[in-house]
Amino acid sequence: MNIVILAAGQGKRMRSDLPKVLHPLAGKPLLQHVVDCARSLGPRRLIVVHGHGGEQVREAMSASPSGTDLLWALQAPQRGTGHAVMQAVAQLDDSVPTLVLYGDVPLTRRDTLMRLIEAAGPDKLALLSVDLDDPTGYGRIVRDAGEIVRIVEHKDADETTRAIHEVNTGILVAPTPALKRWLAGLSDDNAQKEYYLTDIVAAAVHDGVTVASAQPAAAWETLGVNSKAQLAELERIHQREIAMRLLDDGVTLADPARLDVRGLLACGRDVSIDVNCIFEGEVVLGDGVRIGANCVIRDASIGAGTQVLPFTHIEDSTIGAGARIGPYARLRPGNALGDATHVGNFVEMKNVQMAAGSKANHLAYVGDATVGQRVNIGAGTITCNYDGANKHRTVIEDDAFIGSDSQLVAPVTVGRGATLGAGTTLTRDAPPDRLTVSRAKQFTVESWKRPQKAAKAAK
């Protein structure tokens, strides 16, 4: 099928220089949600009609792997939804139906669209409608003996029509040759001087084409974004749905309302997540993982039984089973930590490979390092990996002990079983199984006296 996504609107009520369809929901643009859903249907042609901020929209979507082969149509000026679809007509394949979606309606599910496509079949016009408790402002679906005969906009409806609760969402499927014919017959003879896509319903009825319908499982699937308030509302709806799926899968959430998933989160059995946690990109949590409150985890894999304590940030890292991370730890990109490792409070790591059983329990920076098994890195330790121009690597072999307040000036190697005394500044390799100390000799100045404040002069 052809899929046309209308994404040309300015979004004045957003009060932003960013085009409306690029505002993020769950970490990705509104339009990206619609494109991803559309792609799941396997379209023959996928066309985005852009207008306001068009180049910015194209650049943003082209940067995504799923946006590189999109077809584009420019709507300038913007003269209504019918006019928008007209801009895509030249790129439509007549041999398949056309589905029309909206770039600011991000939560429509694939299953809903499949029902709509099935309702349309090869030769019907099918509308996605929804029943609303308060349909104010929406076009009403008017039926005669159960058959859809027209859509009446709210401002044009009489009291009887306004009592109808079934409304038009704008999403539709039509046979493409007929759609082209109906679009060509649209008129802008209205107060707004625009071409309305809804007017094709009357044209279809006039041609004797059946107008079918389908409804979503939930009304929120059809909600659009026209303001920051509506964007926030849809964010909460989306996050609530994710939370409910996690609960159904057996994940324990301390508070489903205080969870944000901005990507894909896969959880094993008996996973528990405390409040105010954010998961971005692709995150995998193994069986029995416990995530403490206020953690931010991005593009990470965390092994079974690992505890991530509160206020920890993890990015682009893998952590083995039975590890203990945090609180207040920061794992920057490139870390691979083995089983039963410990990274404690106020420890920062970047591009570190740490083998099983090793620990950096507090107040350390470890960067560009290879750490063996059963290594203890004391408090205040720093790997001095950057010389101002280039990064250098530190190697700490199995069973080494790094005393507190040590500086390892890379490139340097600490041999297997070596011990560094506290306060050591290591600039050459430390041999295995030996104590290495670099420290100024301690002495006491017997004649020294602490300075005293000078007496104030009398006035």
Looking at residues 9-23, what average pLDDT do you find? 90
The CATH 3.90.550.10 portion of the chain extends over 2-222
Residue type, 299: D
Q: What pairs with residue 73 in β-bridges?
A: 49
> Is the bond into 333 cis (omega within 30 degrees of 0)?
no
Question: pLDDT tens, 386-444?
Answer: 999 999 999 999 999 999 999 999 999 999 999 999 999 999 999 999 999 998 888 99
**From-to residues of CATH 2.160.10.10 in the chain:** 228-436
Q: Go through the chain and tell me how many residues it has.
A: 459
Which residues does 144 contact at the CB level (< 8 Å), separation at least 6?
none
Cα gap 149→153, rounded to integer Å? 14
For 249, what's the count of Cα atoms within 13 Å in the CB-facing half-sphere? 17
Residue 206 is a catalytic residue = no
Longest C-alpha distance within the chain, in Å? 110
Q: Could you report the per-residue pLDDT of 97-154, keeping only the tens digit for each?
A: 999 999 999 999 999 999 999 999 999 999 999 999 999 989 999 999 899 998 988 8
Task: Give the span between the Cα atoms of 308 and 298, in whole angstroms.
Answer: 13
Secondary structure element (H or E) that encloses residue 234, with its range: helix 228-248
Instruction: Tell me which CATH code domain 228-436 carries.
Output: 2.160.10.10
Which H or E run contains 176?
helix 176-184
Of residues 23, 50, 83, 362, which has the active-site annotation? Answer: 362
Q: Are 269 and 288 in contact (CB under 8 A)?
A: yes
Domain 2-222 in CATH 3.40.50.10540: no
Tens of pLDDT, residue by residue over 345-372, are 999 999 999 999 999 999 999 999 999 9
Residue 38: predicted pLDDT: 96
How far apart are the C-alpha atoms of 117 and 216, rounded to whole Å? 12
178-232 confidence digits (pLDDT tens): 999 999 999 988 777 889 899 999 999 999 999 999 999 999 999 999 999 999 9
CA distance 459 to 457: 6
First to last CA, the chain: 96
Q: How sure is the predictor about 71, in pLDDT bands with cuts at 50, 70 and 90?
A: very high
d(CA 210, CA 125): 6
Handedness of CA 85, 86, 87, 90 (dihedral sign): positive
